[in-house]
Structure 1
């Protein structure tokens, strides 16, 4: 993930400047499961409404495909990096649980040092952002990744953005490549552990498959990205 010029799109990538200063609530499907609220930001069976592309260094190809009999989002990067982001005014007090499924074709190999800029590529990542508005230095992002070399459960600061962006390895290596993996995260607990503060608001969800720093290639699939008031059943 290379740095962009000031005023460019590095807020989505390096997380160094003001994130999404004008936050828009954009068309998420909302459902009530009993008393609990559910925000379906990535129900790709319904298409890509509300998601916007942001290019950093070349373009990752995002497209809807049918895989295992369902429509999902496919991401393919060949020495490139671009993201899809979904801006929304999110209240973690109402929807503190983030869940999704992802699948990768492969990773970049265990020798990849993701703590350095030269290795800052991930076959799959999903992250949440709290904007600092014009006080861009207060922007924070929590970045869940399928790591090539870091062990599952490891957490480290972004090679580009430093401590303001924390990465957490939920999957590691290629042992589960080709399989769907389901994750459920308590955003408030993860945020507290990563930044030592309470999470009172979020301004968006993003996903990215990137391969520009390593000069390699990656392919991944994403499905069922949801925010909910209670942890969903697997």
Structure 2
């Protein structure tokens, strides 16, 4: 539970928005902009070439730590989030909807920081689920409805294969947290995200995972 308390409460804002924003370039400068955040043990993140492309390698051994970038993104200008990922080791027989199973071989998530109005803080997690069906959505077992889990990849996805993803984050926020009833109300609620994070974690189940991430990019197309 500590990981979600930290993510939802402890960040400040940093304003920036571009038509195309490459958040990880996977070179000596790119990943250095991200901060390591440890929740329960330390997952290991290193950059190198893997199966034909530069990648951020993530190894979790009964641990939960991630890489976090505080960056304000205007989703009306750049709503599309694109990235690549590959997993080599899944977490079989794990119920990710429960607290004991709240672990993911790969995830990229965004946070809307509510500031002093903590009840307005929201986090949408794009996860590679070991056991849920692709496109499944559920509330986080620890944080409840303020954190939504969306299985971009699911139980039938293959290990050892690069997948390229593209999501309209603005539309996904409306779909998962609810339409506010008008374009104006939706813009007020969902136009900006304040934090982007990457995490591979296995602290609840106490097992190992190995995953790889490609560049993370926001764009207008």
The TM-score normalised by the length of structure 1 is 0.85
Residue of structure 2 in register with 1:86 after alignment? 69
Verify the 8 A CA contact 2:23 2:30 in the aligned structure 1: no
The alignment partner of 2:23 has SS state of: strand
Which SS does the other structure have where 1:49 is aligned? helix
Counterpart residue number, 2:14:
24
Residue 174 to residue 82, structure 1, CA distance change in 2 (3 Å): farther
* Aligned residue number for residue 86 of structure 2: 103
What aligned pairs does 1:1-234 form with structure 2 within 5 A after superposition? Answer: 2-3=1-2, 10-12=5-7, 15=8, 18-20=9-11, 22-25=12-15, 37-45=19-27, 46-109=29-92, 111-173=93-155, 175-196=157-178, 197=180, 198=186, 199-230=190-221
Deviation at 1:122, TM superposition (A): 0.3
Q: Is 1:107–1:174's contact at 8 Å kept on the other side of the alignment?
A: no
Q: Is the 8 A contact 2:57 2:210 kept in 1?
A: yes
TM-score, normalised by the number of residues in structure 2:
0.90
Cα distance in structure 1, aligned partners of 2:113 and 2:148: 15
CA-to-aligned-CA distance 1:10-45 (integer Å, 9 cap, x gap): 332xx4xx251x21248x9x6xxxxxx100001213
Question: Is the contact between residue 47 and residue 64 of structure 1 (CA under 8 Å) also seen in structure 2?
Answer: no
Residue ranges of structure 1 left out of the alignment (5+ in a row): 31-36
- The structure that is helix-richer by fraction is 2
Deviation per CA, 1:156-198: give whole Å up to 9, x if none. Answer: 0001100000000111136411010111001111111111142
Per-residue CA distance 1:192-218 (angstroms, 9 max, x = gap):
111114211110110100011000000
SS at match of 2:200: strand
The alpha-carbon deviation at position 119 of structure 1 amounts to: 0.2
Q: Secondary structure of the residue that 2:171 maps to in structure 1?
A: helix
Question: What is the RMSD computed on CA atoms of the aligned residues?
Answer: 1.8
In the alignment, structure 2 segments of 5+ residues that lack a partner are 181-185
Report the number of matched residues.
211
Q: Distance in 2 between matches of 1:185 and 1:128?
A: 12
